[in-house]
Amino acid sequence: MTFGIYYSDYLQLDKILNAQELESEKNGNVAHDEMLFIVTHQAYELWFKQVLYELAAVINVFKDPVIEDKKMGQVIHHLSRIKSIQRVLIQQIDIIETMTPLDFMEFRDLLVPASGFQSVQFKQIEIQLGIKREHRINADKEFFHSRLSASDYQALEELEGQKSLLELTDSWLGRMPFLKFNEFRFWEAYDQAVNKMLDSDSEIIRGNPTLSEREKEFQLNGLEMSRAQFESLLDREKFEELRKAGEFRLSHEGFLAALFINLYRDEPMLYTPFRYLTLLLDIDEMFTNWRQRHAMMVQRMLGAKIGTGGSSGHNYLNATTRQNRAFLDLFKLSTFLIPREDRPVLPDELRRGLGFFFHGENH
């Protein structure tokens, strides 16, 4: 019988299903769970490849100086798929945790000095999202030199020089109109709304009969700290000082635009940008969850032992969980949100524009 495309040929199953070579078998004493270890990590790498494929499509859209509305729909689709893949990545840890520490010890020493750090694809994902060298812990920076082959190191170096999704998103946000419209200046109105809100909170605290003087002082000090945070947001020079210190990664324009989108997310023209920013936040959170589960799994398997690649094992992974975050600024937006009823009222013509009926001129 003659076939057209045959299932196993199309999927190249001869390569995939024969790509598991057990080091313990080569050593003459087969460790049963090494097969599970290899298959699980190969599955991870296949999913990483798909994530990179989806991420490349998103980055290609954001490289354009003008992004069509219909392309944002495609972007939402690609990012939603990445998020679904991330759920699978986390669930796969349940499978590998069916292997006990004693089972792992049967072949673990045969893996030295290989390490999960050497997953170039995962490093590519991190870099393309926006986690560059300056954002990493010192051990992570050192491992780029000591744990990677020269060719892999060079490939990641070249990737570092390209615009990440974080940087491209910042440029896109910086191009957002609406913040200045005729005589209306949104951030002046926002500043007034914030001060009115904080002044009201201060009066409530001072007039609260259930609080002691010490408790009032504590809450009022906290309120002044909040006021200082709002002031640093609206003062470009203060914001840039904080940015240079590593507190922010988005530009002043980009962060303000992201905040505006979150404040007025219900306006039709801002809903898709809001969904986009929310998906970036979700993806950052999902990778953090995956790193946390991975760190817990390593502690379960190794206790306080060092990793096969020479890292401090669980402690190293915990540190990268806290540090390796691409979209931290999006998590900080909630600090500067104000209640719906306190938001500045937008001019009627601007509101019509946000409802897809925009024909006015921006200034």
Domain that holds residue 56: 12-178+250-357
Stretch 66-78: mean pLDDT: 92
86 inside domain: yes
149 in a structural domain: yes
Question: Who's near 160: CB < 8 A, 6+ residues apart?
Answer: 127, 132, 133
Question: Please, are residues 96 and 33 in contact by the beta-carbon 8 Å criterion?
Answer: no
In a domain, 90, yes or no: yes
Both tokens assigned to 142 = 């050192």
Reported as a pLDDT band with limits 50, 70 and 90, residue 358 is very low
| Through-space distance between the first and last CA atoms of the chain, rounded to whole angstroms | 71
Condensed to tens digits (0 to 9), the pLDDT of residues 25-53 reads 999 999 999 999 999 999 999 999 999 99
- Count of domains observed in the chain: 1
Contact 132, 164 (CB under 8 A): yes
**Highest-pLDDT range among 178-187, 199-208, 295-304:** 199-208
Residue 283: give its domain's CATH number: 1.20.58.480
Q: Is 180 helix (H, G, I), strand (E, B) or coil?
A: strand
Q: What is the pLDDT of residue 359?
A: 46
> Percentage of the chain with pLDDT > 70?
92
147-187 confidence digits (pLDDT tens):
888 999 899 999 999 999 999 999 999 988 766 667 778 88
Domain-embedded: residue 275: yes
Residue 7 has pLDDT above 80, yes or no: yes
Specify if 195 maps to a domain: no
Identity (one letter) of the amino acid at 342? D
| 38 occurs within a structural domain | yes
Q: How does residue 288 score in pLDDT terms, banded at 50, 70 and 90?
A: very high
CA distance 166 to 340: 28
pLDDT digits (tens, 9 = 90+) for 102-140: 999 999 989 888 777 788 999 999 999 999 888 887 777
Are 186 and 179 contacting, i.e. CB atoms less than 8 angstroms apart? yes
Cα 190 from Cα 180, distance rounded (Å): 12
Instruction: Please give the Cα distance from 245 to 239 (Å, whole number).
Output: 10
Query: If we measure between CA atoms, which residue out of 355, 361, 173, 166 comes closest to residue 264?
Result: 355
- Two tokens at 284? 């950052």
Q: Which residues of 203-212 are buried (b: 16+ CB within 10 A; e: fewer)?
A: eebeeeeeee
- Rounded to whole angstroms, how far apart are CA atoms 278 and 85? 17
Encode pLDDT of 226-253 as tens digits: 999 999 999 999 999 999 999 999 999 9
Q: Does residue 230 fall inside a structural domain?
A: no
CA–CA distance from 264 to each of 216, 338, 345 (Å)? 33, 11, 10
Residue 343 lies in a domain: yes
